[in-house]
Copies of this chain bind each other. A is one copy, B any other.
């Protein structure tokens, strides 16, 4: 059954076809792919180790048909980290539409096959409601996101990353420079997976290294400016 399915899938590679005609459709879209047709283009099969997308490339959305993809990000310091796994039925590259570019590199961990989805042009509105709804549900259900950029880093860096992320978002939401943390050290620790005491010491180090100024819950960035 598995091999049969695979060969039938390979048969339509390269053409854009209705997902309803695909034997693996249930895995991708669930049981009732009724009302509105979803069209996808089967891409050429990926050998183990082949790259589907490269970090920084232009947005594109895929759904895994068979195999398994590993998602990696390259950090500014040159190191790489695995940030996710995608199995059949899961989405690859959705984040790229929000960012304007691919957030990670996707590489086949085993021989894999994927289909490319065409996302309706932004602002087109109206049509494709069902597709969008399904994508939304899928993305909200996707077990782990291009995830914790800080796991495994030393505690000081985790806290620094948290503060940076927080201040960026706080600015976006219209707050001004001396930011006030709404969380206790215990909450920050719970979020980062650190003991409260460790958060205190980390903030102390960052303060001493002039990377920021902390007094109580008030933080001010004093970056390498």
Contact = CB atoms under 8 A, between A and B. Distances in A.
Contact of A140 (B81, B97, B130, B170): B97
Interface string A151-166: 1110000000000011
In the complex, which range does the number of interface residues on chain A fall in? Answer: 35 or more
Interface in A144-180: 144-145, 147-148, 150-153, 165-166, 169-170, 172-174
A192 interface: yes
* Stoichiometry, copies per complex: 2
A165 B144 contact: yes
Given A133-B132, A135-B136, A153-B193, A165 B147 contact: no
Nearest to A186: B82
A190 B82 contact: yes
A11 interface: no
Interface of A: 2, 27, 35-36, 68, 70, 72, 80-85, 87-90, 94-95, 97-99, 109-110, 120, 122-130, 132-133, 135-141, 143-145, 147-148, 150-153, 165-166, 169-170, 172-174, 182-183, 187-188, 190-194
